Chains A and B, each alone.
Chain A
């Protein structure tokens, strides 16, 4: 079927002059459910807005599956024009020079301009190279934020914490009021990676990995990190922090059921929570450690970016460029932001949503953007670490062990650092 389609496509190309059939491009992504529908709508809008190009989005399952399919397809020369790659996979695709055309080059080659300053600060660096050139086109971005069960706080008579010190002070009262004070999904993203960014601590050598793949090492055993996790472990023992395993939903569910007072989730969880939460809720930034004195910096972005794969004909690349340009328009950004709950990635889209009064109706939708707009610390721009999905798997394993009592915080982070560094060294070899 695919073959047949591409034959038809090729035939169409040869008779291009006569019929002016649109150039077909494909877009592989890792979104499902409601978010996949929104992607289809974005594609339809693009196809309707102009006649030269037609884009076809294809869902490849999860983020990991999309990356794996993209890689397999590239190796057999069947790659799509555009591939969506998630935050942890960024190093894999960016380090493979020649697999992609840097988004900024693609745009300028096709006479579009990209204004880096139009993007929200926290988003600008993550998928860019050390000089700030956009390699991937930021697309769906999210920030980890703290959701607040407002009933719990009224009942306990306390105010939601801004710092971890404040949390420690109010947590016993929340517990007395009958709540589990805190839960969090995906600790790797929330309380490991973003602990570095929010508190402005170096995550890895070589400027968090941006400067070079060679010799990059992980700074997992930072004393601030160890101290914070020891606290977390203490809170867990005291019943102030509920941990329900590495699965995302297992930790979200008790919050939805109103048993948990604070839950750290994604800004993108907002859409789903409005449907599933059994109690009123609000949101705020992830707390930081006041004692470190660097706190309240912007967080790393989560989510994914779009990459233009190389090895495609010029005409198709032009269409990819047109599509990237189309995505940055305020109209599309505003639509996508409001339809999905992902943060707006351009300042203009943020302003437009503000002007519309969107955040008055949905104040939670603004929290993620505000957190990304916070002052960027030296170490909160992002990280570029090879084999990071595997390093995350090591983190998940050790975190589970900490809370099941199989290991100590010190040993767990030592293991993460040792195994992480082995993986980083191995990645450096693949690129060599």
Chain B
């Protein structure tokens, strides 16, 4: 509170300060009016409540009903929507693809991002040009990335398809499951690499020169130096990126997928989020799609817990 009152400007803050301040007991931040901290938290809590807790609660409650789309009648069906989803071979198939997709997209976008950042970190001439060129892709919105990808992989005019044909491969994106999966992963990775690049590069630059020099004296092997000295110091960044990338692959690739399957999923690979959309918004099956989104919520919850419980212990925050 001391800091706040000292740097405060503007009549409101001054008023709050006058209303709350007392001669300071020093050190720990104290609120002596119990309501005040809640008041400060209120805007944030309101946002979380309106945009997260409330919709989540709605999703959980409607996942136990089969509902007429227009909301005239809802029949309580217990866990039917869950057993329907988990019991369907199609759903399990999509879940399998989603897992594979998430692992591949995360691994490749992190790996390539790391490689590019390490290399760009060593560039001395024209370094800002390199960096700008590598970062600029991030400015592309996911649907646009999807559109570009779709053009590259178009069955009739796509240059990538022609390139593949040159090697004797007959690529049929939108028709062949694996070709479509390949195109989706490629576009999703391409879209995410610059994001990882920015973070890893700034992580690299925050490693003190003295540490690098000390490492250089101890070990001549560059690769070994990287794995024993540099990488551990990058761990906090990498851990953060891991979580962000998994969420990206699970949720933010929606637009890429939507554009690439041209809103007709047919037998093309889709992720679980896309399935929630298809069933809920296209199929008007609110109960079933709510159950699926609750399942997805649980998956993310478990993943996050695992990451924080197991992985974070190994992360060394400098």
Q: Does residue A160 face the partner (Cβ distance < 8 Å to B)?
A: no
Complex CA gap A401/B67 in Å reads 31
7 contacts between A and B (CB under 8 A): A95-B68, A99-B70, A390-B279, A390-B283, A393-B265, A393-B266, A404-B175
Tell me, yes or no, whether B13 is within 8 Å of chain A by CB.
Answer: no
State which of A71, A248, A257, A398 has its C-beta within 8 Å of the C-beta of B284.
Answer: A71
Is the Cβ of A64 less than 8 Å from the Cβ of B282?
yes
B281 near A64: Cβ-Cβ < 8 Å? yes
Which residues, 170 to 197 on B, are CB-close (under 8 Å) to A? Answer: 172, 174-177
The tally of residues in B whose CB lies under 8 Å from a CB in A reads 35
B77 within 8 A of A: yes
> Which A residues lie within 8 Å of B77 (CB)?
429
B residues apposed to A, CB below 8 Å: 66-73, 75, 77, 84, 90, 155-156, 172, 174-177, 262-268, 278-279, 281-285, 287-288
**Additional 16 contacts, C-beta under 8 A, given A390-B283, A397-B90:** A65-B281, A71-B70, A95-B68, A96-B68, A96-B72, A244-B175, A246-B174, A246-B264, A250-B155, A257-B156, A390-B282, A397-B265, A406-B177, A426-B288, A430-B75, A431-B73
Question: Do residues A389 and B73 form an inter-chain contact, with CB atoms below 8 A?
Answer: no
Do B265 and A396 touch across chains, with their CB atoms under 8 A apart?
yes
A-side contacts of B282, CB under 8 Å:
64, 68, 389-390, 393
Expressed in whole angstroms, the Cα–Cα distance for A214 and B287 within the complex equals: 19
Given A71-B284, A430-B68: A253 and B156 interface contact (C-beta under 8 Å) = yes
Tell me whether A67 and B268 are in contact (CB under 8 A): no
Within 8 A of B (CB), among A373-404: 387, 389-390, 393, 396-401, 403-404
A245-B174 in contact (CB<8A): yes
Specify which of A96, A247, A389, A401 is in contact with B283 (CB 8 Å cutoff): A389
Size category, A interface? 35 or more
Query: Do the beta carbons of A74 and B284 come within 8 Å of each other?
Result: no
A335 to B90, CA, bound (A): 46
Kindly provide the distance from the CB of B220 to the nearest chain A CB, expressed in whole angstroms.
Answer: 54
**Given A68-B282, A387-B283, A98 and B72 contact (CB-CB distance below 8 Å):** yes
Q: Which of A245, A419, A426, A429 has the most CB of B within 10 A?
A: A245
**Do A96 and B285 have beta carbons less than 8 Å apart?**
no
Give the complex CA separation of A71 and B70 in angstroms. 6
For B71, list chain A residues within 8 Å (CB). 74-75
* A296 contacts partner chain B, Cβ-Cβ < 8 Å: no
A271 close to chain B: CB less than 8 A: no
Main SS of chain B's interface residues?
A: loop
Given A71-B70, A387-B283, A389-B283, A399–B266 Cβ distance below 8 Å?
Answer: yes
In angstroms, Cα B176 to Cα A399, docked, is 12
Chain A residues near B281 (CB-CB < 8 A): 64-65, 68
Do B73 and A432 have beta carbons less than 8 Å apart? Answer: yes
CA distance A245 to B153 in the complex (A): 13
B156 CB to nearest A CB, Å? 5
B68 CB contacts on chain A under 8 angstroms: 95-96, 430-431
Q: Given the known inter-chain contacts A244-B155, A244-B175, A400-B175, please indicate yes or no for A92 contacting B284, CB distance below 8 A.
A: yes
The answer on a CB contact under 8 Å between A400 and B267 is yes
Complex: A404 Cα to B177 Cα, angstroms? 9
The 6 A-B residue pairs with the shortest CB-CB distance, nearest first, are A246-B266, A245-B174, A390-B283, A400-B267, A246-B264, A96-B70
A160 CB to nearest chain B CB (Å): 24
Give CA–CA (A398, B66) in the complex, Å.
Answer: 26
Distance A393 CA – B275 CA, assembled complex (angstroms) = 11
* B279 (CB) vs chain A CBs: closest residue: A390
Complex Cα–Cα for A71 and B69 (A)? 7
Q: Is A276 an interface residue (CB 8 A)?
A: no
Q: Mark A74-97, 1 if CB is under 8 A from B, else 0.
A: 110000000000000100110111
Distance in angstroms from A179 CB to nearest chain B CB is 16
Interface centre among A62, A75, A399 (most CB of B within 10 A): A75
The verdict on A239 contacting chain B, using a C-beta distance below 8 Å, is: no
Instruction: Evaluate contact between A250 and B267: CB separation under 8 angstroms.
Output: no
What's the least CB distance linking A410 to chain B, in Å? 17
When the two chains form the complex, which single residue of A245, A419, A429 contacts B172, counting CB atoms closer than 8 Å? A245
